[in-house]
Amino acid sequence: MVAQGFTVDLNKPLVFQSIIISLSNAIHYASTVWGRFTGLCVYDVTHYYLHHEQPSREVTKNLKKYHLNHHFRIQNKGFSITSSLWDKVFGTLPQTRSAAKSR
Ligand SMILES: [Zn+2]
């Protein structure tokens, strides 16, 4: 576009915009990959710990009991490893032994 001796290159804003969009996509992609990797590591380490260690704290003792329940008592419930939140959300929370006995 030429207006009285002044030239404007209409492609420059598009190039700048493309760079910004590409950069933000790269950052978004990298953070998504990093978040998934970190979540997988936390899941895996917690799973290994629950199977192979003897927890000393009440929280981890309950997690181990909850998870071993999934493997050895009710296999189609209690899928969560690090908390029971998602089992509550998806309705896969296993019954407690006392609730099962009272049926
Ligand atoms: Zn397991």
Q: Would you kindly state where each structural domain of the chain is located, as residue ranges?
A: 60-102
| Ligand 1 center–CA 103 separation, angstroms | 28
| Ligand 1 center–CA 5 separation, angstroms | 74
- Give the global pTM: 0.66
Of 15-24, 46-55, 70-79, 93-102, the poorest mean pLDDT is in: 93-102
- Round to whole Å and give the CA distance between 69 and 33: 32
| Ligand 1 center–CA 100 separation, angstroms | 22
Amino acid letter at 41?
Answer: C
- Round to whole Å and give the CA distance between 90 and 80: 10
- Round to whole Å and give the CA distance between 68 and 40: 20
- Round to whole Å and give the CA distance between 60 and 46: 9
| Ligand 1 center–CA 102 separation, angstroms | 28
| Ligand 1 center–CA 32 separation, angstroms | 26
pLDDT in tens, 26-82: 999 999 999 999 999 999 999 999 999 999 999 999 999 999 999 998 889 999 888
| Ligand 1 center–CA 30 separation, angstroms | 29
pLDDT-derived band at 3 (thresholds 50, 70, 90) equals low
Amino acid letter at 37?
Answer: F
Q: What is the pLDDT of residue 10?
A: 65
| Ligand 1 center–CA 12 separation, angstroms | 56
Instruction: Give the start-end residues of each E strand in the chain.
Output: 2-3, 6-7
Tokens representing 66 are 């909850």
pLDDT-derived band at 95 (thresholds 50, 70, 90) equals confident
